[in-house]
Every structure is written in structure tokens, then in C-alpha cells.
């Protein structure tokens, strides 16, 4: 069965650079969530999109922006990268109204900022 | 204070033992999720509960809405069950993000 795809899987950037992470939800899933998990930390919710509109906002820094496109894939844009942005970034997708409402997680993008 | 609390933080047990991991939450929720994260990072959704009890193989999850408490049980534990188990609360309907507990590091020794 198709799963959530994230790219790239690994990314190394330097301070003050920009990065773009991509998430491709499971086919027919119209909701995408982004989470950040720092080293040794529990995941923190960043932002979510439903039908290409921002749905909920968590602890996303102002330096980050995200959007969902017409094919439902989503991109997380990160600018002026800081050392503290080094983390594992998860994307999840779900279908609102699905009886279970389960979020299906991608494998994550591991970002290292040097 | 984290709105989702898990216990224990760390648990080491012998193969075959019955495992229980507990989760308490202080916010109103629409659903409670149990997730599994293996070394290397991948997160797998095990259960989503809004009431009662669910069973999948050797895993059982229960929730008591009145007491704001959920438990994850593993029967006949096996070394491959070694992972971090995370409880996460979904505060409302729609596309609300999850609030995660800090996870329980489970090690099952042969």
C-alpha cells in the first residue's frame, strides 16, 4: 500500500541558508500535518493543511512557511536556518471524516544545520 | 507542564512479560493515539481511540474518558517490541495537530 513520502530523507545545510522539505500524502488524503522532533525531544506540531488551506498552527517559527498544493502535496520552507533547527521533520496525512481519523506518518526528513 | 503525561519513561523487561504503559492527559480530546517509534526515527500509528478498547495482535489499548487515562498493553512481549511508545492527544476534530507525550522507552531482553 502507498505510504506518505517525504523528500529529501536527509539534508545538511549551513546556518542562515534555506531549506525546502516536501511531503506527498497517501493518495486521496487531503490533510497534511508537519511535526518537528529535536534530538531527544518529543515531536512538536508545526502546522496543518486541509484542502490546500491552513487548518491549524502550532509552534512553527516565523522563519518557516508552508503550503499545500493542488495535488495535495505540501512543502515546508525554512529560511535563515539556525543550529537549533536541526531535527527530524515528520509529515503525516489523514482523511477528515474517515471513521478512524488516523494520521499516517512519513519516514521523516533529518535536517542537520552546521 | 506537558498536557500529556506518560509512565514509565523507561521500561526494561524480559521476553514474554506482560507490559503496560500508561498515559494521562489534562485536556479535552477527540481521540487518543498510540504511536511506535523505532530507533532511526520512523513513527507508526498503532491505535486511535475515542472510547473503550481496541486489540491488534498482541497489542491492546484502552481508554477511560472520564478519568482521562489510557493504557497500552503488550502481551507475550518480544525483543522486536523494543521501541519508544508515544501517547498523543488529538484535541479536536478536523485537522488539529497532535500533542505528544514524552514517550516510553521499552527494551525487551531475550
Q: A-contacting residues of B 17-46, CB under 8 Å?
A: 30-31, 33, 35, 41-45
Residues B15-48 as b/e (b if ≥16 CB within 10 A, e otherwise) read: eeeebebebebeeebebbbbbbbeeebebebbbb
Mean pLDDT across the stretch A93-106?
Answer: 74
**Nearest CB neighbour to A50, from listed B43, B95, B100:** B95
Lowest mean pLDDT among A17-26, A96-105, B72-81, B101-110: A96-105
Tell me: pLDDT of B5 over 50: yes
Kindly list the residues from chain A whose CB atom is less than 8 angstroms away from the CB atom of residue B90.
101
Q: How crowded is residue A80: how many other Cβ atoms within 10 Å of its Cβ? A: 13
Q: Give the pLDDT of residue A114.
A: 96
| Residue with more model confidence, B90 or B22 | B22
Tell me: pLDDT of B41 over 70: yes
Kindly list the residues from chain B whose CB atom is less than 8 angstroms away from the CB atom of residue A94.
95
Q: Give the pLDDT of residue A79.
A: 97
Euclidean distance between CA atoms A41 and B28, whole angstroms: 23
Q: Give the pLDDT of residue B34.
A: 95
Mean pLDDT across the stretch B83-109?
Answer: 88
Q: Phi and psi for B81 in degrees, rounded to 5? A: -80, -10
Q: Which three cell numbers stand for residue A29?
A: 488524503
- Across chain A, mean pLDDT equals 91
| Cell 503496560, located at residue | B20
**Nearest CB neighbour to B95, from listed A31, A35, A104:** A31
Q: Which three cell numbers stand for residue A109?
A: 526528513
Q: How crowded is residue A52: how many other Cβ atoms within 10 Å of its Cβ? A: 14
Do B95 and A100 lie within an 8 Å CB cutoff? Answer: no
Amino acid at each position: 500500500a502507498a505510504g506518505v513520502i517525504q523528500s529529501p530523507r536527509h539534508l545538511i545545510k549551513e546556518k542562515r541558508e534555506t531549506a525546502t522539505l516536501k511531503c506527498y500524502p497517501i493518495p486521496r488524503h487531503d490533510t497534511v500535518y508537519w511535526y518537528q522532533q529535536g534530538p531527544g525531544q518529543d515531536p512538536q506540531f508545526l502546522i496543518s493543511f486541509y484542502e490546500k488551506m491552513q487548518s491549524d498552527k502550532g509552534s512553527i517559527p516565523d522563519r518557516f512557511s508552508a503550503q499545500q498544493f493542488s495535488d495535495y502535496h505540501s512543502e515546508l520552507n525554512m529560511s535563515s536556518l539556525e543550529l537549533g533547527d536541526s531535527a527530524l521533520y515528520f509529515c503525516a496525512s489523514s482523511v477528515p471524516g474517515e471513521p478512524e481519523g488516523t494520521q499516517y506518518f512519513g519516514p521523516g526528513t533529518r535536517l542537520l544545520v552546521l | 507542564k506537558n498536557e500529556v503525561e506518560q509512565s514509565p519513561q523507561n521500561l526494561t523487561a524480559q521476553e514474554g512479560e506482560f507490559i503496560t504503559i500508561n498515559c494521562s492527559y489534562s485536556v479535552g480530546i477527540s481521540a487518543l493515539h498510540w504511536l511506535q517509534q523505532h530507533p532511526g526515527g520512523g513513527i507508526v500509528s498503532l491505535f486511535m481511540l475515542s472510547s473503550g478498547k481496541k486489540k491488534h495482535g498482541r497489542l491492546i489499548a484502552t481508554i477511560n474518558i472520564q478519568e482521562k487515562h489510557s493504557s497500552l498493553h503488550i502481551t507475550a512481549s518480544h525483543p522486536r517490541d523494543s521501541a519508544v511508545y508515544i501517547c498523543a492527544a488529538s484535541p479536536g476534530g478536523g485537522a488539529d495537530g497532535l500533542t505528544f507525550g514524552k514517550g516510553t522507552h521499552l527494551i525487551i531482553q531475550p
